Structure 1
Amino acid sequence: MSKDTPPSPPRLSRRRAPVTLKQRIVRRVLMLIPMAALVILVGRMGWLDQAADKLTFSRTSWFDNTALVEHFRTIVTHNGMTADAKDCLLFVVNGNDPADATRIQVMEKHSGKCPGDRNTLPLLFTLRIDRLDQKALTDWQSPGMFHPLP
């Protein structure tokens, strides 16, 4: 080496050619397609509903009828108690029951996108909620005999 030229600093990586607009678009599309498919899959599997339920349902929600109905709507549709969609279920809360034995009737709705005879509203099962102890029992598959939720 001569004394006239200063040593060049070592390069840690190879120098890349500039990225063209076409390459940027292709990269973004290739990233967007799997992400969109993943979002659709997660939505169809109901994982978003379950995650939202876990985040929003708290100890005080047991005394709020709206929160309680939405919580059990998610549970009932995701644990196989009914094959109906969430929007095709009607929850009727008996407001005259005491806090330790509130009854919620789960009925099958037949209107809009829900198939079936519009003149019927069949009872699927009943939930018995103990708000004080935060427990739920159901008579699913055994009318009149209550047991813990599956």
Structure 2
Amino acid sequence: MTQDSPTAPPRLSRRRGPVTLRQRIVRRVLMIVPMAALVFVVGRMGWLDQAADKLTFSRTSWFDNTALVEHYRTIVTHNGMTSVSGNCLLFVLNGNDPPDATRIDVMEKHSGTCPGDRNTLPKLFTLQIDRIDQKALTDWQSPGVFHPLPR
């Protein structure tokens, strides 16, 4: 004797009970804390600055003084040329240079949040920028003798 009884379709996953408010809060905290830590680490390592520089600096930026200064601010702080933070560096462009070959003096400023004697403005090194060939030379660690920037 067989009875025809309605059978439920097979389930692919097991059914869970309703999620409580406490479970929702714990799940969100477990997602937010590692993400916040990751953002903090990425920001402290300077990876955001480098990524933004790669995205925004283009071939035409070589002829824009502001873009050029920001590009080299990122480069000199991340390749070990100086241990000074980027906001404590002062880039002084020589206005007497021809537009295609510019010299930029990189100086350490001591004002606001930057530590040091406020009466001094030490020169760290000079950058020679060839805008046409898109190359830069520096006299870092060898004043007066220019060589390519370290990688």
TM-score scaled by structure 2?
0.96
- Runs of 4 or more off by more than 6 Å in structure 1? none
Q: Which residue identity does 1:98 align to in structure 2?
A: P
Deviation at 1:7, TM superposition (A): 2.6
CA deviation after TM superposition for structure 1 residue 115, in Å: 1.0
Deviation sequence 1:122-146 (CA, Å, 0-9, x none)? 1000000000000000000000000
Read off the aligned partner of 1:62 and give its amino acid letter: W
1:114 and 2:84 aligned: no
Tell me the residue number matched to 1:147.
Answer: 147
**More displaced, 89-98 or 122-131?**
89-98
- Farther off after superposition, 113-122 or 38-47: 113-122
Q: In structure 2, what is the equivalent of residue 137 of structure 1?
A: 137
Deviation at 1:46, TM superposition (A): 0.2
- Which ranges of structure 2 fall in alignment gaps of 5 or more residues? none
Native 8 Å contact 1:107 1:122 kept in 2: yes
C-alpha separation between the residues in 2 aligned to 1:25 and 1:6? 40
1:109 Cα deviation after fit = 0.1
Rounded Cα–Cα distance in structure 2 between residues aligned with 1:75 and 1:66? 14
1:40 aligned onto 2:47: no
Q: Which residue of 2 aligns with 1:95?
A: 95
- The one-character-per-residue Cα deviations of 1:8-61 (angstroms, maximum 9, x if unpaired) are 211101001111011000110111101000000000000000000000000000
1:1-150 pair list within 5 angstroms: 2-150=2-150
Distance 2:109 2:8 in 1: 77
CA distance in 1 between counterparts of 2:55 and 2:27 reads 34
Q: Give the deviation of 1:71 after TM superposition.
A: 0.2
**Cα distance in structure 2, aligned partners of 1:140 and 1:106:** 10
Q: 1:5 is matched by which residue type in structure 2?
A: S
Two-structure CA RMSD over aligned residues (Å): 1.2
TM-score computed with the length of structure 1 as normaliser: 0.96
Q: SS of the residue aligned with 1:102?
A: strand
Give the aligned length: 150
Gap regions ≥5 residues in structure 1: none
Counterpart residue type for residue 132 of structure 2 = L
